[in-house]
């Protein structure tokens, strides 16, 4: 799921076409473009006669058929899921049934008890567009359970002349997984780092403090190339990653400045901080702002005005 447009990577490959990206990597872009997915989900096929699929994508017949065509006369030996959002993992069930290949992931999506979508309902922002709420939510694939649960640093697969390793990057989701392709010094970054936009870090499963840590973790690596699920490749990772993280630091400082200026609610902050951004993105934007506020609250730099537990629609104040 996308955040606010950042540094776009030109990516005009056609939908449904198997594109050779490197000696070991092919990609198919799903025809599910949106304000959250850019031009669509990029499903990666790694290897030759023995292949691994990363993020098979949403349940769409056209994309299913494109993956089937890509794997014709090839053995699918593994299905790797970066996280369980509806544009990444749902087709894994079909692909596993079709090929018998096991699925690999950090784990299923973490469900948080005691939290409902009502926590994000602001009656002052009702809209006549009945589709708006659904378009602004990123579906969860709560049915997905990996056959093989991997941990940070594990070798996921080593077969057919290539090796894939797990890099756990919680933040966008708690089970977010990046995948290292050792032979090409490439990191498949899922939604942790995207090629066209920053990522929404949406509570309760999204965690901004964890996202900061995971960004520093990826910055500390020596990957030569990043391949996001959405957007084109990042060919010079270090300056891109540092700018990506600095964007978050700047946003955190802006949130603090708004609180010090007397802006007490997250929706009010979003109207100021994202004034130049399409208003259809304001609801996902305020969830990222909420994640910043939760991080600041946990650090003791922000408190709930009048006390109580932090909620998206609560009033906040800075701690002097």
| Residue 227 CB partners (closer than 8 Å, separation 6+) | 21, 25, 27, 42, 44, 186, 187, 188, 189, 233, 234
What integer pLDDT is reported at residue 235 of this predicted model? 94
Would you call 303 helix, strand, or coil by DSSP? strand
What integer pLDDT is reported at residue 284 of this predicted model? 83
Q: By residue range, what is the domain housing residue 10?
A: 2-248
Q: Give mean pLDDT, residues 169-191.
A: 97
Please tell me whether residues 275 and 237 are part of one structural domain.
Answer: no
| Residue 297 CB partners (closer than 8 Å, separation 6+) | 303, 304, 310, 316
What integer pLDDT is reported at residue 115 of this predicted model? 54
Q: Give mean pLDDT, residues 80-84.
A: 96
* 30-46 residue pLDDT tens: 998 887 788 889 999 99
Q: Give mean pLDDT, residues 127-143.
A: 54
> Is it true that the peptide bond before 122 is cis, omega within 30 degrees of 0?
no
Please tell me whether residues 155 and 181 are part of one structural domain.
Answer: yes
Domain stop point among 227, 248, 269? 248
Task: Check whether 119 has a pLDDT greater than 80.
Answer: no
Please tell me whether residues 141 and 287 are part of one structural domain.
Answer: no
* 227-281 residue pLDDT tens: 999 989 999 999 999 999 999 999 999 999 999 999 999 999 999 999 988 888 8
Please tell me whether residues 267 and 290 are part of one structural domain.
Answer: yes
Please tell me whether residues 221 and 276 are part of one structural domain.
Answer: no
Please tell me whether residues 128 and 213 are part of one structural domain.
Answer: yes
What integer pLDDT is reported at residue 42 of this predicted model? 95
Task: Check whether 114 has a pLDDT greater than 60.
Answer: no
pTM for the full predicted model: 0.89
Domain stop point among 223, 248, 273? 248
Would you call 226 helix, strand, or coil by DSSP? strand
Please tell me whether residues 160 and 221 are part of one structural domain.
Answer: yes
pLDDT > 90: percent of the chain: 73
Please tell me whether residues 208 and 66 are part of one structural domain.
Answer: yes
Domain stop point among 216, 248, 280? 248
Looking at the structure of the chain, the number of domains it has is 2
Please tell me whether residues 286 and 139 are part of one structural domain.
Answer: no
| DSSP-assigned beta bridge partners for residue 260 | none
Please tell me whether residues 184 and 275 are part of one structural domain.
Answer: no
Please tell me whether residues 13 and 154 are part of one structural domain.
Answer: yes
Please tell me whether residues 46 and 141 are part of one structural domain.
Answer: yes
Report the CATH number that the domain containing residue 73 is assigned in CATH: 3.60.15.10
| Residue 126 CB partners (closer than 8 Å, separation 6+) | none
Q: Are 229 and 42 in contact (CB under 8 A)?
A: yes
Strands (E) in 31-185, as ranges, are 42-47, 50-54, 75-80, 103-105, 148-149, 155-159, 162-168, 177-181
């Amino acid at each position: 799921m996308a955040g606010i447009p950042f540094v776009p990577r030109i990516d005009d490959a056609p939908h449904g076409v198997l594109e050779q990206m490197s000696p070991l990597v092919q990609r198919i872009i799903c025809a599910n473009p949106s304000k959250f997915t850019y031009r669509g989900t990029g499903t990666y096929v790694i290897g030759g006669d023995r292949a691994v699929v990363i993020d098979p994508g949403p349940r769409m017949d056209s994309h299913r058929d494109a993956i089937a065509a890509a794997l014709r006369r090839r053995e699918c030996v593994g299905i790797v899921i970066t996280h369980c959002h509806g544009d990444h993992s749902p087709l894994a069930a079909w692909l596993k049934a079709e090929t018998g290949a096991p699925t690999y992931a950090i784990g299923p999506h973490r469900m948080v008890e005691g939290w409902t979508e009502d926590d994000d309902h602001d009656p002052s922002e009702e809209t006549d567009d009945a589709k708006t709420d659904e378009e602004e939510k990123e579906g969860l694939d709560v049915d997905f359970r990996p056959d093989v649960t991997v941990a940070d640093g594990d070798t996921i697969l080593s077969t057919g002349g290539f090796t894939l390793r797990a890099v756990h990057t919680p933040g966008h989701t708690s089970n977010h997984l990046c995948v290292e392709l050792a032979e090409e010094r490439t990191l498949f970054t899922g939604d942790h780092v995207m090629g066209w936009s920053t990522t929404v870090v949406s509570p309760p499963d999204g965690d901004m403090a964890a996202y900061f840590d995971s960004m520093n973790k990826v910055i500390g690596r020596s990957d030569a190339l990043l391949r996001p699920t959405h957007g084109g490749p990042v060919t010079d990772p270090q300056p891109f990653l540092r700018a990506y993280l600095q964007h978050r630091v700047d946003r955190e400082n802006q949130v603090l400045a708004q609180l010090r200026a007397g802006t007490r609610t997250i929706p009010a902050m979003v109207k100021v901080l994202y004034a130049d951004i399409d208003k259809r993105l304001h609801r996902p934007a305020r969830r990222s702002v909420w994640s910043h506020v939760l991080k600041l609250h946990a650090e003791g730099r922000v408190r709930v005005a009048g006390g109580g537990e932090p909620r998206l629609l609560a009033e906040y104040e800075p701690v002097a």
